[in-house]
Amino acid sequence: MDMPLRRIDSLVFDNSFARLPEGMHARVRPTPLAGVRLAGVSTEAASLLGLAAPALFDEQAVAWLSGSEAWPQTAPLAMCYAGHQFGHYVPQLGDGRAIVLGEVKTAQGHWELQLKGAGLTPFSRDGDGRAVLRSTIREYLCSEAMHALGIPTTRALCLFDSDEEVYRERIERGALLVRMAPSHVRFGSFEVFYYRGQYARLRELADYVIAHDFPALRDTPRPYLALLREVVERTARLIAQWQLVGFAHGVMNTDNMSILGLTLDYGPFGFLDAYEPGFICNHSDYHGRYAFDRQPSIALWNLTCLAQAMLPLFDADDGDAAAAQARDVLAVFEPTLSAAYAAGMRAKLGLREAQPGDAALGARLLSLMAAAGVDYTNLFRDLGDLQLADSGADAPLRDRFVDREAFDAWAAEYRARLRQEHSHDARRQAAMARANPRYILRNYLAQRAIERAEAGDYAEIEHLRSLLSQPYDEQPAMREYAAEPPDWGRAIEVSCSS
């Protein structure tokens, strides 16, 4: 059934973060972009607001969502936060190019609408407050693709192109993304008040987060410890999902870590093509701090920073006791991540039951893939074609490996493991297809859409968004989008300015 076409002025705003004390945010209005025009709309994200996509093409909707006109119900603001960037504490960051319009309330929950690239704020730190078209397209596509993969993420409602010139590594067109999340509070939102010694503000922020996003924690004996534990567990499960799908964030600073355990702030991200554990997707990350295989340890490091910032909130007799409480909560991270990753890897391998040797079985396959540079996504997807009967039909799989005999040995072990649980080929293949995507947002696909958009053609953006909204479906007519990158696609470099 088609969704009834509601006008955007039917949205109801609450603006709860705007009611927090001055100092937690700065009131600021968006700066209109020159020659702004709508370049993409996510039907699925619009439905979360009770809107059909055509409602966003209305002239008034374009004016409000692009920041060209003041939206009467909203209370625009930039959020204040700090953060550890590449391991070094920066005492004040804040929304330097993002402005939260307000919070839309629906029957299903609440969604903050944030304009990313909306102009200067008091936190811009010599920046121009703008985003460029290429980075906006990348975030628009990837946040919606991650949601379709089942990974917690901010959402992208729509994106705007413009005629405004913005300088990054070259002169580019300015653009704007309308981003959605129940909350944009970050680890760094807590850090700024801890390091300023503003513990009353720290408590007010924690109370707000609990009341707004974790109301079930209000009546627990130690709500702030319970909040930390919830964030630790959510973050652990999130990182496990990143590792399982082959996603590298690229800039896991504490100001880019969501208190809700969402994937936040898509900049120099990248999905694995060839399996490379030490993959670095951000060419500004000269020392590989945020390499793919370091994401779990960096996530724990970031959570430790958050726990440090929350110490004054814990019900303890002294600092040592509070630190001990925090350490106990942080100790939950590794087993939570390991359990989530193990369950996810079993699903990728089509295993129904947990057995002691499963982790080693998966690790040996990854080792073979790394040695041969096998495409991560395609290998796992096509592994579902392997049959229990060793009929010699493994050639399409084994030929991807340098050491074919080593793959044969692994495949024999894998078949024996499948037989232990009486696996059935067709049922297993169907289950593996639900756990292993056929389509991901490869860098070369995003780059192709960017180049066409820069030439004034936005069709490929919508084409990709639609394809990636069903990443587990075969979509035979679209199989070219599952291809490994061409040589030029392997050479794409993405930086923090992306």
On the question of pLDDT at 316 being above 90, the answer is no
Give 1's pLDDT tier (boundaries 50, 70, 90). very low
Residues 6+ apart with CB under 8 A from 271: 245, 246, 247, 248, 377, 440, 441, 442, 443
Which pLDDT score is estimated for 392?
A: 74
Q: Which residue has the higher pLDDT, 310 or 316?
A: 310
Our CA angle for 262, 226, 13, nearest 5°, is 50
**128 flagged as catalytic:** no
Note the pTM of the prediction, 2 decimals.
0.96
Contacts of 251 (CB under 8 A, 6+ apart): 265, 267, 268, 282, 285, 290, 496
- Per the prediction, the chain carries an average pLDDT of 95
Closest by CA to 341, choosing from 372, 365, 370, 363, is: 363
pLDDT in tens, 140-150: 999 999 999 99
Amino acid 340: pLDDT: 98
pLDDT of residue 398: 94
pLDDT value at residue 390: 77
Higher pLDDT residue, 341 or 389? 341
Q: How confident is the model at residue 5 (pLDDT cuts 50, 70, 90)?
A: low
Question: What are the structure tokens assigned to 275, written together?
Answer: 């399996």
Share of the chain above pLDDT 70, in %: 98
What are the domain boundaries of the chain?
8-184, 353-422
The first and second tokens of residue 452, run together, are 């066409």
Reported confidence tier of residue 80, pLDDT bands at 50, 70, 90: very high
Q: What is the mean pLDDT of residues 318-340?
A: 94
Taking alpha carbons only, the member of 72, 35, 41, 45 closest to residue 58 is 41
Q: What is the pLDDT of residue 468?
A: 98
Query: For 380-413, how does the pLDDT look when each residue is reduced to its tens digit (9 = 90+)?
Result: 999 999 999 877 778 899 999 999 999 999 999 9
pLDDT, position 497: 59
Options 255, 273, 285, 375, the catalytic residue: 255
